[in-house]
Amino acid sequence: EVQLLQSGGDLVQSGGSLRLSCAASGFTFSTYTMTWVRQAPGKGLEWVSAISGGGGSTSYTDSVKGRFTVSRDNSKNTLYLQMNSLRAEDTAVYYCAKSRASGGTYSPLDLWGQGTLVTVSS
């Protein structure tokens, strides 16, 4: 079955760290750009980060640059988001998502994980 299964969300204190995981199955993981999107409580979707299929290219929204690191282990079909120096405003449901087209240069997101809640207490 084609799916993304997320884990790692938790309650953490401001300034703390957390690592999110997203395990992929049912498709050739290494050929797709993967993306993290978050949604603060009651708010809209916010693009957070993306990583190319081979892992050599990454991108971040300005508010997380220098604090978050996206990575992937293609041997384990798993995507990660390491979050450091967490702030109250990082509180959100975090989704991982797959690009619709392999290569992913110009591609929307066609498969999403179930989401995992990160709560940062101040």
Partner 1 sequence: DIQMTQSPSTLSASVGDSVSITCRASQSISSWLAWYQQKPGKAPKLLIYQASSLESGVPSRFSGSGSGTAFTLTISSLQPDDFATYYCQQYNTYSRTFGQGTKVEIK
Binding-site ranges for partner 1 (CB under 8 A): 35, 37, 44-47, 50, 57, 59, 61-62, 95, 97, 100, 106-110, 112-115
Closer CB to partner 1, residue 87 or residue 100?
Answer: 100
The CB-of-16 to partner 1 minimum distance in angstroms stands at 26
Q: How far is the CB of 20 from partner 1 (least distance, A)?
A: 15
Burial of 59 (0-12, 13-18, 19+ CB in 10 A): middle
CA distance linking residue 111 with residue 68, whole number of Å: 22
CB distance 100 to 110 below 8 Å: yes
What's the min distance (Å) between Cβ of 95 and partner 1?
6
Between 15 and 114, CB nearer to partner 1 = 114
For residue 40, how many C-alpha atoms fall within 13 Å in the half-sphere facing its CB?
9
- Which of 2, 15 has the CB closer to partner 1? 2
The 8-class DSSP code of residue 106 comes to: T
